[in-house]
Chain A
Amino acid sequence: MVTREDVENIAILSKLFVAEEELDGLTKQMQEIVEFADAINNAPDSGEDFDNINNLSNVFRDDVVVPSYPSEEILKNAPEQAEDHFLVRNHN
């Protein structure tokens, strides 16, 4: 059972706001989706854990030094920047 408190708590963990007026609708939707996901509880356990699709492990390559991207290029996409850094203001 998904409660309003569950949704509020998950929203905090997800760094999302859920407005008071959205809370009931969202709780109902989450409950429906979780009920749909609950179908797997009736499935028999395969007894072993799935790791990854092509059973890859430790993919190695030679450590070749290549030029990195210039920081001014990267910073062009930042909403705010200052002195070659991303700028994060505490208030706005």
Chain B
Amino acid sequence: MSEIKKIHDMLSSKQISCKELTEKYLEQIESANKELNAYVNVTADTALLQAEKVDKKIFEGEEIGLLEGVPMTLKDNLSTKGIETTCCSKILTGYKPIYNATVWDKLESDGAVLLGKTNMDEFAMGSSCETSYFGGATNPFNTKHCAGGSSGGVASAVAGNIAPYGLGSDTGGSIRQPASFCGVVGLKPTYGAVSRYGLIAYASSLDQIGPITKTVEDASIVFDAISDYDTKDSTCQGRKGRKTYDTVNDDIKGMKIGIAREYLEGIRDDVKEAVLNAVKVYESLGAEIIYFDMPALKFALPVYYIIACAEASSNLGRYDGIRYGFKAEHYNGTHDMMCRTRSEGFGEEVKRRILLGTYVLSAGYYDAYYKKAQNLRGTIVKAFDSAFTKCDFVLAPTVPMTAFEMGHAVSDPVETYLTDICTVPVNIAGLPAVSIPCGFNSKGMPIGMQLIGNKFSEATILNAANAYEKAAGENFKETKWGVKL
């Protein structure tokens, strides 16, 4: 059952007022956030003001939209007019955008109630949320473990019931990986399906905004609300075809599911077992399973890190201490001012990626790294094109393991990069993918799998994901935290 619909019904039938509901969430944030660290900024006043507006409408007998009055959260790299937006970096502390990200403009006009901004790896660079200037978000299934990253705050808030849903961004897995670690649903849409205007850029040819939710139906509802053409993002084409919600409950009998053998190599046994059990569930639902090889996948990880860092080194050039955010206190000359501002303002992982990006773009290395990576990007795109001539979607683990313990990810950069092996090919090829829970390991930590679709086929993967949720709902578990509806 959709959490959003449940709340909508409660509000419409006046079982609870929007203000009471919002206050419940704010109270639970106050207590749960001490341990989860999911929120970095709680916008109680904005939320209550919006809630009162919705209540007035209901009181006057007007009908409300599906998302109207439903509380939610935004990752802290999505611009919110007049509300501090930091990317969880020291360099953007105090920055209050003067405009909204298009996705927030759309949801705000739909009547969404913004509870606050959520934690993330600094500039979305990380896989555990721990590169955040504010410290990492923890996992509601076990707070000794991280929530994943980079959209760890949204995933932790949704799994911890201190937000019914939220929006994150996914450059190399940043929606799907924390969704997998926290046992919730995360949708990374097709490159170009959702406007990125107002998303603070990390790697522009890879970044996409998408929802993190409790159920697949919720992901479908939110995706339909935000996937629209936007003149402010020239790469944005919007959703193609009908609303995904129209077909999310269709029968999946006869659907062809592809499994690339490479995705099952180097995966922890418990993760592999859970994914193969899900395959059996799909077979019982009448889907056909097709195995094949995709050798191009083995280059995906270095291709991703080269392209992402190259683009990041350029995108992050704008932080110079002049126009917004943090500025170094003492300096001697403008070059010195910029160097000191950037060195004091950026964290270690961000600096590492800027340096690597600058290296692969610099004279003498450009051809060997950046150009070669772009060339291989084309090869990976073609490998997926060929896969989709054989199947309707590709099924794969989301992450090779379950959530790491806090502190584990920060110790070795390369080892941490390796954990992104299953998620990055989707961004390289610009495809949509949804991560859904498919089991638990022996310690009770959630395992996730992803359904990867062809471009603009969100309807297909959400339909198939929902069919699994209905057949194997025991894998969508509640945590002890937060608001109980």
Which residues of A pack against B, CB within 8 Å? 2, 6-7, 10-11, 13-17, 26, 29-30, 32-34, 36-41, 43-46, 48-50, 52-54, 56, 59, 61, 69, 73-74, 76-80, 86, 88-92
Given A7-B355, A52-B205, A54-B192, A77–B331 Cβ distance below 8 Å? Answer: no
CB-based contact A61/B335 at 8 Å: no
Q: Which residues of B from 303 to 358 have beta carbons under 8 Å from A? A: 303, 305-306, 313, 317, 320-327, 329-335, 337-340, 342-343, 346, 351-352, 354-356, 358
Contact flags B179-202 to A (C-beta < 8 A → 1, else 0): 000000000000110000000000
A-B contact pairs, 24 of them (CB 8 A): A2-B359, A7-B355, A10-B362, A14-B358, A15-B320, A30-B352, A34-B359, A37-B360, A38-B302, A39-B299, A40-B299, A40-B302, A40-B306, A46-B378, A48-B378, A49-B371, A49-B378, A50-B375, A53-B429, A69-B98, A78-B324, A79-B321, A91-B333, A92-B331
Contact of A46 (CB < 8 Å), options: B205, B375, B429: B375
Main secondary structure of the interface of B (DSSP, over half): helix
A65 to chain B, nearest CB (A): 13
| Residues on the B chain within 8 Å of A59, using CB | 234-235
Residue with the greatest number of chain B CB neighbours at <10 A, chosen from A29, A30, A33, A69: A33
B427 to chain A, nearest CB (A): 9
| Residues on the B chain within 8 Å of A15, using CB | 317, 320, 335, 338-339, 342
**Complex CA–CA separation, A92 to B375 (angstroms):** 46
Say yes or no for B65: interface residue by CB 8 A criterion: no
A52 to chain B, nearest CB (A): 7
| Residues on the A chain within 8 Å of B191, using CB | 53-54
Going nearest first, the 4 A-B pairs with the smallest beta carbon separation are A53-B430, A50-B378, A79-B327, A77-B324
CB-based contact B372/A43 at 8 Å: yes
B291 to chain A, nearest CB (A): 23
Known: A14-B342, A33-B352, A56-B235. 17 other contacts (CB 8 A): A10-B359, A14-B354, A29-B413, A30-B355, A33-B305, A36-B414, A37-B360, A37-B369, A39-B298, A40-B369, A40-B372, A43-B299, A59-B235, A76-B96, A78-B323, A91-B332, A92-B337
B280 to chain A, nearest CB (A): 34
Contact of A91 (CB < 8 Å), options: B235, B302, B331, B374: B331
| Residues on the A chain within 8 Å of B417, using CB | 33, 36
Q: Which residues of B from 90 to 131 have beta carbons under 8 Å from A? A: 94-96, 98-99
Say yes or no for B24: interface residue by CB 8 A criterion: no
Say yes or no for B379: interface residue by CB 8 A criterion: yes
CB-based contact B359/A30 at 8 Å: yes
CB-based contact A10/B355 at 8 Å: yes
Contact of B382 (CB < 8 Å), options: A2, A30, A46, A78: A46
| Residues on the B chain within 8 Å of A86, using CB | 322-323
**Complex CA–CA separation, A56 to B339 (angstroms):** 36
Say yes or no for B8: interface residue by CB 8 A criterion: no
**Complex CA–CA separation, A2 to B330 (angstroms):** 32
B368 to chain A, nearest CB (A): 7
**Complex CA–CA separation, A32 to B339 (angstroms):** 25
**Complex CA–CA separation, A39 to B343 (angstroms):** 30
Chain B residue at minimal CB-CB distance from A47: B375
Contact of A79 (CB < 8 Å), options: B322, B339, B373, B382: B322
CB-based contact B375/A45 at 8 Å: yes
CB-based contact B330/A16 at 8 Å: no
Say yes or no for B455: interface residue by CB 8 A criterion: yes
A36 to chain B, nearest CB (A): 5
Chain A residue at minimal CB-CB distance from B350: A16
Given A6-B359, A41-B368, A17–B455 Cβ distance below 8 Å? Answer: no
Say yes or no for B231: interface residue by CB 8 A criterion: yes
| Residues on the A chain within 8 Å of B330, using CB | 92
CB-based contact B342/A16 at 8 Å: yes
**Complex CA–CA separation, A2 to B322 (angstroms):** 32
CB-based contact B231/A61 at 8 Å: yes
**Complex CA–CA separation, A37 to B305 (angstroms):** 8
**Complex CA–CA separation, A26 to B338 (angstroms):** 21
CB-based contact B338/A49 at 8 Å: no
Residue with the greatest number of chain B CB neighbours at <10 A, chosen from A11, A30, A43, A48: A43
CB-based contact B339/A16 at 8 Å: yes
Say yes or no for B376: interface residue by CB 8 A criterion: yes
**Complex CA–CA separation, A71 to B162 (angstroms):** 38
Say yes or no for B260: interface residue by CB 8 A criterion: no
**Complex CA–CA separation, A79 to B93 (angstroms):** 11
Say yes or no for B381: interface residue by CB 8 A criterion: yes
CB-based contact A14/B355 at 8 Å: yes
